[in-house]
A and B are shown apart, each in its own frame.
Chain A
């Protein structure tokens, strides 16, 4: 008996969300098969890669990251440089220093940085906050206004602040909202429902359904993504057809495997930078295989490897 393929065709697809405008517009999502199952159906857009730049600059960054941005003295210069890196589809500026528990950089300063970045970037932009919700909401609203109509992806809106985010970032200035929930398909769906009830269209919403480094409860991340993708495709659940954008760098570069200096690490661990890169690569691959349409990475070597992986599987 000859081999008969048990392929899965779906009459449903993930939404396509375009970030940026004009020449630098980038489509995310659109898949109608499981990730990398091109033998079932070729997806219209390959998985996308964002590169993360911290507003705090290069202090404490791995040598390979510093070397790549050598000569850059501002966030805008770094962003311009990042746009030239092969494999980068969009640039994500993370305003880590805005945290009131950290440097508490004022909103006005952040807006100036964002404007400077937008002026020089040749790729679409994403803006991420400092994880202090009150500050982030204020920050996002101000940047959204300053860069009105540029179709920027804001990461992210949570259950607590989705109203402000939807209204003052999405509806008022036409940007894209990232709906963030923590590893639970029901919470992910609920947040998408609430945001759609605010009047935001499908093509203006992406989702971050949870992220973790490999080994750090990653089973919750992968199972949530797989369940979300199954519901979206197999059951045509329109409230779960949001493209998934997963920040990877901000999770993987904090765990001890990535940062413990060689001299403090157990025998044989080797240089921290190599460990950090592999942690980023392994996590990004697993996230993509589970059902993410885009990942956000930091290290140029990780970007090169993951873009090669996507090209070889797409």
Chain B
């Protein structure tokens, strides 16, 4: 009996030993001298890359090819690395004095992948298609006219300030009119980009082939394969083993994986501040967050700094106003949102009549201050929301607010929030333009107000936002945006938790990749260096 138990124990110890051993031993051999780097390198004979990512690049937007990730489809206006608007398929644009009429000059000599010429007709077809699909995307459009083969004119009934940003939005990409079915669905994404979609196996991979007649010059890569690898650990290990050349997309590399990847001299980890802020939302219609004092207390209780340090391994930026760093021209200079002051939070709650009942959870009129924090499982899989929620839970508990975390499947999450049956949630939001961001989150009819169960209703802010959308003068618009941000920080319907820092990783023979805040891939500039 004893003998067998010993054998059994030995078995377990051996297994533990093997596993921990594997864990501690960094894969690869960092002590190898990477001296060859000084030798000038040449282009590899085969210009192909395989990139891994955590979602199916074909399933997004319903176009069969995610515009920034695949670059099969391109919008009229591009955004540079600082998110400034630069010419894309449109080369020039200007507005009339009253801000109602926009004239857009299109690029010459561009063709869709199917050979259809890119011209005014194609653009008009696209603009109407998109407007029908998502009303209001391009503002109150009255008419769109072709002035000539390569010039169009868009007339609004009221000024619509974020118009150019709307044209630059990934969802406003140009698709060959021939590729659109009568009911508006698209099976084959036929665009103008440096690569065309050669094949797509849903849930598996997408192969992109070089567009030899790309208007921006022939890309160096012949072929790009995008591999959908759902499990982040598998994805990382595939890069380590050299089976994929790069990990792309937001949420491609998770912050926790960076130390492991850094052990490999042949892998380069890239990171830049992204254009994706993450917001915590409060349900301002229902008890207890219908009380502005309680919402403010939550703001004082949370500490984004510690969230960034401990849940994001430092890959994030604290936001002090609802406008993110990527829109720095529109961002209020003062630190409007104030965090990490639990004493102030307790004081506010006490002023609002909340008493400690002895259990550590505050009480008012016999009701305990307990709230439901609802998370979407789809988002939890891509960002460390679970960990963030646990930190928030501990921080709110510290000031006497009990938080119950619930992670549900994405559809149920939306449904529950819409009905107002949760008290708080968290989600990322890219936002089409600085102006529309404020409208989406803070206006009583903004799409996130109802969809995220915020129900914030403030007449003053509504008016300011409506004026902002029509204000084309930049200085006046910024003044309005500042005012709106100030009110938001006083009323606290949402709490900006952090600005994301994007992390991607590439093998070091892949050159020319520049990480874009919108995770837009510059496939036309990437090339493979030969490994010696």
The answer to whether A and B come from one shared complex is: no
Chain A positions within 8 Å of B, measured between CB atoms, are none
Chain B positions within 8 Å of A, measured between CB atoms, are none
